[in-house]
Amino acid sequence: MNLRIRFYITLLVLLKAMAIAQPALSQSDRNDTNGEQLLFILPEGWKEEFKDRTESLSTTEYIPEGQTETDWEEMLTIQILLNKPSTDPVKMMSGITKYLSQDCRAFDYRPIDIGGIDNNYPSMAILALCGQKKEGDSGYVSLLRGISGKKNFFLLQKTWKTKLFDTQKKSPINLEQRKFWLGYLSYLRICNNEQGDCPKNLKLD
């Protein structure tokens, strides 16, 4: 099972599990998601490769120019779990790492301190290390950042495909690359015109 399919299943399972604890939403709430959005800047030299939206999940994937959907080395993924108001980012990220670990023979993760509140929205980041996937002879390194919005939960992920490696030793992705992309993910913001915290003259898609 490839990484994309596995991760989608993870999020759908989490959505189903957390629905029990979430208050019911009115029809107008379910339809109104345009007020809250991610202030996103596509890195230079990257392109959109995949986009999908269901009633509960919006996913967009980006890869460097010259790479393809089936043959990529780096990927940037933006996922929005729709109609998940004020979700606890610690519980959500804990659940995500738990399910990611089930796809790896060797797995580790490390919380990253980037500040718990960003523009009044709770946020959490982790570094996920998969030294060997259960299927195939590769691993991956991922930086993930979750942001809890008033209406939706935003998950930002930067992933590198790697050869097999020991998760308890030096990461195959050097510190400078990880620092650069952590800075990029930390820079991204969400805002809501209804809350009055979006930049002026911002046009919503």
- Does the structure show a pLDDT above 70 at 150? yes
Structure tokens at 93: 């990220």
Percent of the chain with pLDDT over 90: 61
Is the pTM higher than 0.75? The answer reads yes
- Does the structure show a pLDDT above 80 at 109? yes
Q: What is the pLDDT of residues 57-98, one digit of tens each?
A: 999 999 999 999 889 999 999 999 999 988 999 999 999 999
The answer to whether residue 108 sits within a structural domain is yes
Question: Per residue in 18-30, is it b (16+ CB within 10 Å) or e — as a string?
Answer: beeeeeeeeeeee
What CATH number has the domain bearing residue 66?
A: 3.40.1000.10
The answer to whether residue 122 sits within a structural domain is yes
The answer to whether residue 120 sits within a structural domain is yes
Mean pLDDT, all residues of the chain: 82
Tell me the residue range of the domain where 101 lies.
3-19+45-195
The answer to whether residue 200 sits within a structural domain is no
